[in-house]
């Protein structure tokens, strides 16, 4: 499973709309509205880089009210939880 | 459940040590080494603000090789998953 | 009581209008026009994170002349004053 | 009454010490540990600019573990509360 | 006397117009077009904070071609000159 | 008369020392401790560029507790005051 | 052979279009969509500076959906591969 | 002779037009299109500050496709060349 | 094949040493010294994310004279060249 | 002839020393101490990229008091002057 954090700025009044739209996109596991410099943090959990590429450069760019994104690829995960099975996505 | 993202910069050679130490801290559910401007992203999932305060201003500051942190509090979550029960932490 | 600082940039000529509108919003205890990089600092004092989330991601985003906000959640407070009773908001 | 917000970065492990020290300084009404780019936000409420100058350029600079400060002077306040009497400081 | 430095960015072709308009505003003692990141530096010399507040949040915001301002309040002045009498403004 | 603004950051506890030292330097007409990102603003009023060059690249660099400076040359001044005669420096 | 890296930001929905257009431009050897602050990284491999100048200041600027570019000229290359012959471009 | 470097950002497709227009302006000795964060670097070599002021705050601002400038005044020059005579401009 | 760009800052005098060391690391296909804000750009071409993770969070961090890195993962590549076979690394 | 601008920050008290040292380096045609964010601007005028590479990554890095450099390669020059012959360097 490949995990990525996508930091997102949206148009002022569209934070909730974008969050709801994103949460329905395949590959997006959670979307949070957050304090600080960004409006949303989306966590993508996908099978491989190709799916991540489609997600970031095709699906997300089509969501209009997004004004800026910054994607951080997760290299390794360290956790008490067994995240793969928790978020088992038919690998 | 209160979720927070803690973006972390560490000393150059201590990325893995800090990640492993953090993953064992109560309240930290996952730690990822990431691409981009930061070295690690830790996800805190705690009962209330008080526990978050203790985590950020006491526990994490004591981890020596951390050079900078930026905490983003999650206001709302949008997800297909039932995160509360997945990460049920005896609320 | 949960306290947050919301740093706000507004449209050039709307500083006073936004300040007055904000001061009437439930959960906003004080609004200051300030020197420096931001135009206003609003202090939110609310019951719980849910009320803070509603304030930041619903109420404040609807105030049109706001161009940028940055929310800083207060973890702990240190003061000679008994702020809870001073700002008692029926906890 | 003159109000100022002092955004403060401290040495990693000294956040709580600095907050406690600051809260005892004359003219400082509240100190908060916060999320985001800064570690603390101190609110100064003083009689006049001279007291503010003494506070910022003499008292606060002597607190060793502070590494950076940015002071924002409040021009006007908009609030449901009667802050002057709440924070009456023998004007 | 309270002194403040107001760093100003203007619309590309309006540097001189804004400077001349500003120089006529009560409370503005000098306006300089400057090299570097800003277009103008205005020096405000006023009686008290209230006059400074009116100047920054009412008078200056009404000057259309200004796109960004950053106000730096002067705490103390150190000078061979007797600035108060030089800029005596009927204190 | 050539005017320049020199924005200065100093070591934390040396703001007042640097201000006093600077105010005695030939060519420096006023030094202010200020709010915002810088600690001091010095105004240089000199005869010609050569004197400004000596001031910035020789005299000021020798003041030890200065950590960063940014010099803004004034191109034109707009003012009700006759600054040349007020700051007449034997041109 | 002269190599340059061109970091590119595009309009939100035009990442793929710009990448495909760029890849066909003479002198552009590879275009990658990337994570982080930029949308694309283009690698130019050309005969001499003149060809690089034409590429950057004429050809690339004509591609409409590009909003920002930052060009980094490669001084020296260190590689196990014989890049010149691999990318032999009829020097 | 007074030398200044003017770092310039232009509209995407107007780099060459602005460079050619600038090169004809009195006081501008050379204009270069450059790699990095700016599009052009113009070198002004003029008689005195007054001519520099006219150049920067009147002539250059009238060139429409310029979106941002940052002027760096040269204090001293160190060179094997006798630049004054090379760029002798009838001092 | 997974490609990544690693932007690198090194200690002032160690640019060439770091470049030569990096070029010998498995997974690093090319290292360039470059103009602009960074000193080096390394191109990693590896089999999968796991190898990329090992490269970034273990191998590269052990190269002492590196002071800062920023990794940009390539999602998709657009090129006239058949890069996979050119850089065939026994996939 | 290839021209490059090298923006340089030096240790506080070493501006003049570095300028004088640089001016003697082969390939460096002029060095200016400047106002603004940088301390010096050096203009390199060399035969080809290889000489530029040696200058930037070997000669300049060995000058100790330099703390940061940013190199901007000039693509094209627009000037009334015949710079090649003025700075003829035995091409």
Residues 6+ apart with CB under 8 A from C15: C33, C39, C40, E57, E61
Residue-wise pLDDT for H11-34, tens only, equals 989 999 999 999 999 999 999 999
Are I9 and I67 in contact by the 8 Å Cβ rule? The answer is yes
Question: Could you tell me which of C4, C8, C91 has the C-alpha nearest to residue C54?
Answer: C4
Question: Given this model, what pLDDT does residue J88 score?
Answer: 67
Residue J81 lies in a domain: no
Distance from CA of I78 to the nearest CA of G (A): 5
pLDDT at C91: 38
Intra-chain end-to-end CA distance of chain C, in Å: 7
Residue G87 lies in a domain: no
Chains J and C touch (3+ CB pairs under 8 A): no
Residue F67: exposed, middle, or buried by beta-carbon count in 10 A (0-12, 13-18, 19+)? middle
Interface check E36 vs J, CB under 8 A: yes
Q: Is the dihedral of CA A10, A15, A17, A23 positive or negative?
A: positive
Instruction: Name the residue among D72, D9, D26, A52 with its Cα closest to residue F36.
Output: D72
Q: How far is F49 from chain E (nearest CA, A)?
A: 14
Instruction: Name the residue among I13, I33, I35 with its Cβ closest to that of J72.
Output: I35
Q: Is residue E24 included in any domain, yes or no?
A: yes
pLDDT in tens, F43-55: 999 999 899 999 9
Domain count, chain H: 1
Check pLDDT > 90 for residue B37. Answer: no
Q: Could B57 and D12 be called an inter-chain contact, meaning their C-beta atoms sit closer than 8 Å?
A: no
Q: Is A83 exposed, middle or buried (0-12, 13-18, 19+ CB in 10 A)?
A: middle
Q: Phi first, then psi: what are they for J74, rounded to 5°?
A: -85, 125
The predicted pLDDT at position G86 comes to 79
* Binding partners of B (≥3 Cβ pairs within 8 A): A, C, D, G, I
Chains touching I by CB (3 or more pairs below 8 Å): A, B, G, H, J
Q: What is the pLDDT of residue E91?
A: 38
Q: Which residues pair with H73 in a beta bridge?
A: H4
Q: Residues E78-85: what's their mean pLDDT? A: 83
Interchain CB distance below 8 Å, A70 and G36: yes
> Which of I49, I52, I75 is facing A57, going by the closest CB pair?
I75
* pLDDT value for B90: 40
Mark yes or no for CB contact B79/A33 under 8 Å: no
Q: Nearest residue of F to residue C37 by CA position?
A: F36
Q: Which of B13, B33, B36 sits opposite I53 (nearest CB)?
A: B33
CA F87 from centroid of its chain's CA atoms? 14
> CA of F38, closest CA in chain C: separation in Å?
11
CB contact under 8 A, I12 and J58: no
| Interface check I74 vs B, CB under 8 A | no
pLDDT at residue H83, rounded to an integer: 78
Answer whether residue I30 shows pLDDT above 90: yes
pLDDT of residue E69: 92
Q: Judge whether B57 is closer than 8 Å to chain D, CB to CB.
A: yes
Q: Chains that contact F by 3+ CB pairs under 8 Å?
A: C, D, E, H, J
Q: Output the pLDDT for position E81.
A: 82
Residue by residue, DSSP assigns chain D as -EEEEEEEEE-GGGHHHHHHHHHTSTTEEEEEEESSS-SEEEEEEESSHHHHHHIIIIIGGG-TTEEEEEEEEEEEEE-SS-HHHHT----
Predicted pLDDT at E85: 77
Taking only the tens place, the pLDDT of each residue in J14-35 is 999 999 999 999 999 999 999 9
Give the domain range for residue I34. 2-76
Is residue G86 included in any domain, yes or no? no
Q: Does the beta carbon of G78 lie under 8 angstroms from any beta carbon of chain J?
A: no
Q: How many helices (H) and strands (E) does chain H have?
A: 3, 4
F86 band by pLDDT with thresholds 50, 70 and 90 = confident
The pLDDT of A16-37, averaged and rounded, is 95
Residue F91 forms part of a structural domain: no
Instruction: Look at residue F58 and tell me if it is in a domain.
Output: yes
Least confident stretch, E69-83, H22-36, I10-24: E69-83
pLDDT of residue F88: 67
- pLDDT of I90 strictly over 60: no
- Flag whether residue D71 sits within 8 Å of chain F, measured between CB atoms: yes
Test E73 with D73 for CB contact under 8 angstroms: yes
- CATH number at A9 reads 3.30.70.920
Helices (H) and strands (E) in chain J, counts: 3, 4
pLDDT value at position G88? 67
Residue range G22-64, pLDDT digits in tens: 999 999 999 999 998 899 999 999 999 899 999 999 999 999 8
Give the residue from chain A lying closest to G40, CA to CA: A57
- In chain J, which residues have their Cβ closer than 8 Å to the Cβ of F62? 13
With bands split at pLDDT 50, 70 and 90, how would you rate the model's confidence at F84?
confident
Query: With an 8 Å Cβ cutoff, are B37 and I62 in contact?
Result: no
Question: Range with the lowest mean pLDDT among D41-50, I60-69, J81-90?
Answer: J81-90
Please report the pLDDT score of residue D37 as a whole number. 87
Mean of the per-residue pLDDT values for chain J? 91
Q: What pLDDT, on a 0 to 100 scale, did the predictor assign at position A88?
A: 67
CB of I4 closer than 8 Å to CB of I74: yes
| pLDDT over 60 at D89, yes or no | no
pLDDT of residue E2 exceeding 50: yes
pLDDT in tens, A37-81: 899 999 999 999 899 999 999 999 999 999 999 999 999 999 988
D touches which chains (3+ CB pairs under 8 A)?
A, B, C, E, F
User: Is residue E75 within 8 Å of residue F34, measured between CB atoms?
Assistant: yes
CB of I90 less than 8 A from some CB of H: no
- Residue D81 CA to residue C60 CA, distance in Å, equals 20
- Helix, strand, coil % (nearest 5) of chain E? 35, 40, 25
Tell me the mean pLDDT in the region B30-38: 94
- Whether the pLDDT of residue C81 is over 60: the answer is yes
pLDDT digits (tens, 9 = 90+) for G68-81: 999 999 999 999 88
Structural element, H or E, at residue H50: helix H49-54
Establish if A68 belongs to a structural domain.
yes
Show the tokens assigned to E6. Answer: 């107001």
Average pLDDT over residues D40-62: 93
- What is the pLDDT averaged over residues E53-71? 92
Mean pLDDT of all residues in C48-67: 92
Q: What is the pLDDT of residue J90?
A: 40
Q: Which two tokens stand for residue H42?
A: 């113009």
For residue J49, which of J31, J86, J74, J68 has the smallest C-alpha distance? J74
Residue I89, pLDDT above cutoff 60: no
The predicted-structure confidence for I32-47, as pLDDT tens digits, reads as follows 999 988 999 999 999 9
Which residues of D are less than 8 Å from B62 in CB distance?
A: 13
Rounded mean pLDDT of B61-70? 92
Does some domain include residue J23?
Answer: yes
Is E33 an interface residue toward J (CB < 8 Å)? Answer: no
Chain F residue at shortest CA distance from J9:
F68
The answer to whether residue E20 scores a pLDDT higher than 90 is: yes
Interface check J89 vs I, CB under 8 A = no
């Amino acid at each position: 499973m490949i995990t990525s954090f996508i930091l997102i700025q949206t148009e002022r009044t569209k934070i909730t709309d974008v969050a709801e739209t994103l949460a329905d996109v395949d590959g997006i596991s959670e979307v949070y509205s957050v304090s600080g410099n960004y409006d949303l943090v989306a966590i993508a959990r996908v099978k491989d880089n190709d799916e991540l590429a489609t997600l970031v450069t095709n699906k997300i760019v089509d969501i209009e009210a997004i004004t800026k994104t910054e994607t951080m690829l997760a290299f390794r995960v360290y956790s008490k939880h067994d995240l793969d099975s928790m978020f088992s996505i038919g690998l």
